[in-house]
Amino acid sequence: MQTAPPYVLATPVRNERELLSGLLDCVKQQRVPPACWVIVDDHSDDGSRQWLEDQVRGVDWIVLLTAPEDPDEYLGGHIARIKSWGLEQAVALARQRGADVRYCGILDADVLLPEDHYSRLLARFERDPCLGVASSVLRVPGASAVEAWQRSDRPRGPTQLFRLSCWEAIGGLPKFQGYDAVANLKAKNRGFTTMLMTDVVALHRRETSTREGHARGFRRRGGYAYFLHLNPVLVLVRSAAYCIDTPHGKGLEFLRGWLAAALSRSPRCADPEVVQHYRYARIWEVAIAALGRGIRFVR
């Protein structure tokens, strides 16, 4: 086990008491543990905070902090800001302690990792100096394959790991909904490559966007798509694609969320880099992929 690991992690936690024991165990068992792991308690009221205080007492590389804002909602812009803030704190704390931080990442509370998770991701970074963002691929419990619709050039938010120079070049983790996808986009636009490491599999203990059930989760996804200016043609394509997997109604919920945001004229992302990609460039990217010459999906 290395004594001066070059990476830090941040994990937001809100009412995740039943998941925390497994989460702490898998991070403590990493062959290469983080120099600093900041757990941000987002005003939990299920005993998570008290349990964490007992567990991290005396473990100097795990730091428990309180979210700097009240949770208006757990997902969306709020959680993006909490993750971004937690990562900033982790980098700063590790540097204050003299660590040579070269990588930083997000680890969601509903994920379990193999013990060689970070050693393998870091080894890939070390072999490829152009790699800016990477993650493991995700599988849900009981599934025979990994989660559907994971693209090989899009690291997943729950285990997204950044080269520090890339994280700094994109201005840190974006502080708005869709932050993980936008971080990948900004990294590519600055000359870095991005990679979903399909040979490193993490267990996602609930399907993406289902913390509050499939219906509400996929309506939120639809709202995020509107916020990011996703081309309406791609909204329809994505809605149809979601209907392929069970429960089949989640595609309709995605479309419902997009329509609700559009009809109510909800605020939209003002970042021109995001607008250009999601409104215009993305449709050509998908068309090329559909012709068999683009990025492959991992299922």
How far out from the chain centre does Cα 20 lie?
18
Q: Is the pTM of this model over 0.85?
A: yes
pLDDT above 80 (res 135) = yes
Give 194's strand partners: 133
Mean pLDDT, rounded, of the chain = 89
**DSSP code of residue 278:** I
Contact (Cβ atoms closer than 8 angstroms) between residue 207 and residue 150 = no
Rounded to 10 degrees, the C-alpha dihedral 254/255/256/261 comes to 90
d(CA 111, CA 113): 7
Contact (Cβ atoms closer than 8 angstroms) between residue 122 and residue 159 = no
Contact (Cβ atoms closer than 8 angstroms) between residue 123 and residue 195 = no
- CATH superfamily, domain 7-204, is Spore Coat Polysaccharide Biosynthesis Protein SpsA; Chain A (3.90.550.10)
* pLDDT tens digits for range 110-131: 999 999 999 999 999 999 999 9
What are the backbone dihedrals phi and psi of residue 294, each rounded to the nearest 5 degrees, phi first?
Answer: -110, -155
Domain ranges (residues) in the chain = 7-204, 214-294
Q: Between 217 and 277, whose confidence is greater?
A: 277
pLDDT above 60 (res 253) = yes
